[in-house]
Amino acid sequence: MTDASAHDPVTFAVVKNALDAIVDEVAYTVVRTARSEIVKDVMDYSAAICDAEGEMVAQAKTIAQHLGAIPEAMAAVKARFSGRLEPGDAVIMNDPYSGGMHLPDVFMFYPIFVEGELLAWSVVICHHTDMGGRVPGSNAADSTEIWQEGLRLPPVRLYRAGVMGETLEALIGLNVRVPDRVLGDLRAQYAACRVGEEQIRALAGRYGVGGLRGLFAELLDYAERMTRAEIRSWPRGTFRFTDRIDGDGFDEAPVPLSVAITVREDGSLLVDWTGSAPQVKGAINSTLSFTKSNSYLSVRCALRGDIPNNAGVFRCIEVRAPAGSVLNPLPPAPVAARALTGYRVVDTMFGALAQIVPDVIPAAGEGGNTVVCLGGRRPDGRPFIMVDMISGCWGGRPDRDGIEAVTNPSQNLSNTPVEVLERQHPVRVEEYALVPDSGGAGRFRGGLGLARSYRLLADEAILQVRADRVRFPPWGLAGGLPGAPSANWLDGVPVPGKITTILRRGQLVRHHQAGGGGHGDPLERDPEAVARDVWNGKVSAEAARRLYGVIVDPLSAALDVEATLRERRARKGEPA
């Protein structure tokens, strides 16, 4: 075996790229073997490789929100199982108060041994269709304590020497509504972890255990050095921003999130959430691990693209959130819908980062995906649970428009195909479209929100909706206007953004997601771009005139150049 302790640049680059390829192969294995559409179609899962100490050295192109929570979850696993695990073992956990996020997100940690030594960990996180509790999907915003939300697992050994434990398998199967999907996805996680083991072993066979350990350490140091160098180029000072959640589902009072980002001389950041709301009654509280994860990923979005995505970046970012706040709740606070708050953490971070690096930060997007969950029974008594996560749009960017029907920057999700929803569940999707005029006006327009509607074909189901940005629409930047707010209807009657109710056969649920904020002065937008938007049905001719000062024929979408020049001069107070 070759000793790579010299860490020459070629070896370093080869191993770095090999780790990226390995962890992506782990992720592909999850998709190929999973049972539920929330994993294999929505792609709500993550994968990572950690070193023996549990520091993440590579992450797959999966859910960024998950991966920054690994350090705290790993600490809980090591505290319980250090020195007690053997080849083929796997530990799972989902307890939000042991480093987890919410109960449907089950972490699996698989130790990789080479030559009798613990060399690395293969880690896979999946959002499971159901983890029991008071409502199907275990994801309701109106739970009031953690015990209502489902089966809560501290770090426990699910596999021993490659065999799933009968006791834990039976316990999980008995407590979830769709055990075939949940246990099937757990087996998919294990299969993926084994792929990581196989390929890390092969890499160790080439570079040696000691050499690979050294390369892991150098990768982390390299990412830290690059991150610090980048941050040192930023202006010094403290930059503040506040954003708001509509309410917690019980109380209509806004839930403010306030951040102060301090750029330090040593190339590090202090991200301080002091001043954010106290923890709330509803289940939108975010665990500290999840708050940290979203803070990390927000900073990573503002950094150079060639910095490795590993825990070396985390070393440069100190995150503080007061205990007992909505961003660091005390048990038994409910956290099932914590993703909504995580999205707002990202928006708030972007609002502050836009003051530091304005050339790279977009206006606010849709506010995070909307979750529509329907759970009930088919005519033959079999249960069904539809968890649809609607991915929306980005805000306008400093140099181009926002985009539509794509994942939030903090995620890596996909919209579930209509055919999959209708094939798997007793539901008919009657609308799936872009919402005209929903993108915030700007020199670069915000992306349009999505419309989605569902008609129930079963006799009865429990409906849960988790949405936001009804009262506080996505903000614009540099003179750009806010996007349109989100909206929800049940049989044509407006309903709140966070509801849990009984749905009967034939009833129709309709959701309009918020549009992204605009970037820059709308009167500086290229009139030809406005005319194209009118032609494509994204902007109405009336909105083109009102918001952009652009005159377009409503039927042909032909641009009237002279009328537009006169209109814009008048708006700016210039002579005709």
Q: Each residue of 51-95: pLDDT tens digit? A: 999 999 999 999 988 988 999 999 999 999 999 999 999 999 999
What is the bridge-based pairing of β-strands 370-377 and 383-390? antiparallel
Can you tell me the distance from the alpha carbon of 472 to that of 470, in angstroms, rounded to the nearest whole number?
6
575 band by pLDDT with thresholds 50, 70 and 90: confident
551 band by pLDDT with thresholds 50, 70 and 90: very high
Last residue of a domain, one of 196, 224, 252: 224
CB 440 within 8 A of CB 481: yes
Average pLDDT across the chain, whole number: 96
In this structure, is residue 326 part of a structural domain?
Answer: no
In this structure, is residue 55 part of a structural domain?
Answer: yes
**% of residues, the chain, pLDDT over 70:** 99
Question: What stretches of 172-321 adopt beta strand conformation (E)?
Answer: 237-245, 255-263, 269-272, 317-320
At a CB cut-off of 8 Å and minimum separation 6, what does 424 contact?
Answer: 37, 384, 386
At a CB cut-off of 8 Å and minimum separation 6, what does 233 contact?
Answer: none
In this structure, is residue 319 part of a structural domain?
Answer: no
- Closest by Cα among 373, 378, 374 to 459: 378
Task: Enter the tokens of residue 285.
Answer: 């509280």
Annotate 356-391 with three-state secondary structure: HCCCCCCCCCCCCCEEEEEEEECCCCCEEEEEEEEC
CB 337 within 8 A of CB 282: yes
70-81 vs 288-302: helix crossing angle, rounded to 10: 140
CB atoms within 10 A of CB 373: 24
**Residues 355-382: what's their mean pLDDT?**
96
Residues paired with residue 283 on neighbouring β-strands, in sequence order: none
What is the DSSP secondary structure assignment for residue 464, as one 8-state letter? Answer: E
Last residue of a domain, one of 174, 208, 224: 224
1 band by pLDDT with thresholds 50, 70 and 90: very low
In this structure, is residue 237 part of a structural domain?
Answer: no
Which structural domain range is residue 498 located in?
A: 362-525
Residue 503 has pLDDT above 90, yes or no: yes
CB 464 within 8 A of CB 509: no
Q: What is the pLDDT of residues 115-152, one digit of tens each?
A: 999 999 999 999 999 999 999 999 999 999 999 999 99
Residues 220 and 366 in one domain: no
- Closest by Cα among 411, 410, 368 to 390: 368
**Structural domains of the chain, count:** 2
In this structure, is residue 448 part of a structural domain?
Answer: yes
225, HSE (Cβ side, Cα atoms, 13 Å): 6
- Closest by Cα among 462, 186, 150, 554 to 335: 150
Q: What is the pLDDT of residue 574?
A: 85
Q: What is the pLDDT of residue 188?
A: 98
Can you tell me the distance from the alpha carbon of 155 to that of 74, in angstroms, rounded to the nearest whole number?
9
Residue 2 has pLDDT above 90, yes or no: no
What does 161-202 look like in DSSP terms, one character per residue?
A: TTEE-HHHHHHHHHHSS-HHHHHHHHHHHHHHHHHHHHHHHH
Q: What is the pLDDT of residues 168-219, one digit of tens each?
A: 999 999 999 999 999 999 999 999 999 999 999 999 999 999 999 999 999 9
Q: What is the pLDDT of residues 457-493, one digit of tens each?
A: 999 999 999 999 999 999 999 999 999 999 999 999 9
In this structure, is residue 539 part of a structural domain?
Answer: no
Residue 572 has pLDDT above 90, yes or no: no
Can you tell me the distance from the alpha carbon of 343 to that of 63, in angstroms, rounded to the nearest whole number?
12
Q: Residue 77: what residue type?
A: V
Q: What is the pLDDT of residues 290-320, one digit of tens each?
A: 999 999 999 999 999 999 999 999 999 999 9
Q: What is the pTM of this model?
A: 0.96
Last residue of a domain, one of 209, 224, 239: 224
In this structure, is residue 240 part of a structural domain?
Answer: no
Return the ∠ at Cα 168 (arms to 163 and 173), rounded to 5°.
110
At a CB cut-off of 8 Å and minimum separation 6, what does 265 contact?
Answer: 232, 236
**Residues 328-354: what's their mean pLDDT?**
97
Can you tell me the distance from the alpha carbon of 112 to that of 502, in angstroms, rounded to the nearest whole number?
47
In this structure, is residue 481 part of a structural domain?
Answer: yes
**Residues 536-549: what's their mean pLDDT?**
98
Can you tell me the distance from the alpha carbon of 263 to that of 236, in angstroms, rounded to the nearest whole number?
5
At a CB cut-off of 8 Å and minimum separation 6, what does 385 contact?
Answer: 129, 130, 136, 137, 177, 178, 373, 374, 375
b/e sequence 29-47, b meaning 16+ C-beta within 10 Å: bbeebbbbbbbbbbbbbbb
Q: What is the pLDDT of residues 376-434, one digit of tens each?
A: 999 899 999 999 999 999 999 999 999 999 999 898 899 999 999 999 999 999 999 99
Q: What is the pLDDT of residue 6?
A: 53
